[in-house]
Amino acid sequence: MNITLLNCVFSLEEQYIGESVPEIRQQLEEYAQGRRTTFALIIHWDTLPNTHILTAIATIPYGHTATYSTIAAQTETHPRAVGIACRKNPLPLCIPCHRVIGAHGIGGYGYGVAVKRQLLAQEADRG
């Protein structure tokens, strides 16, 4: 499913979520409006690629960030593997890969660095 939020079209693979498309959309829209800081979605973790990395990323609280190296240490992998998992994240925003940053800067983002900066600024303002 595609959803436009914050002037960006996000692509989510809803087969990994055990909720209806309208429920997913509602929660994402509430997030974009700053009315939701966590998602109440049933995620089928056991079917996700890179589950161990994405699970660690999902624990990064709203308004906070973690480095690729920190997530790599938590998951006993390499920072590049964390970057690959972020790039292939089938549930952007729900699994907040935008909260993963480089040790020396913001790092990349599949939807563009400007969108990543916007998401982080929104969360910092409301978190």
pLDDT digits (tens, 9 = 90+) for 11-24: 999 999 999 999 99
Query: What is the average per-residue pLDDT within 28-37?
Result: 93
Can 86 be counted among the known catalytic residues? Answer: no
pTM: 0.94
Average pLDDT in the chain: 94
What's the CA gap between 5 and 53, in Å, rounded?
25
Catalytic residue among 8, 86, 94, 97: 97
What's the CA gap between 35 and 38, in Å, rounded?
10
What's the CA gap between 43 and 58, in Å, rounded?
11
Secondary structure element (H or E) that encloses residue 24, with its range: helix 21-32
Flag whether pLDDT at 127 surpasses 70: no
Measured in residues, the chain has a length of 127
Q: pLDDT of 54-110, one tens digit each?
A: 999 999 999 999 999 999 999 999 999 999 999 999 999 999 999 999 998 888 888
Flag whether pLDDT at 121 surpasses 70: yes
Say what the pLDDT of residue 6 is. 82
Query: What is the average per-residue pLDDT within 38-42?
Result: 96
Flag whether pLDDT at 119 surpasses 70: yes
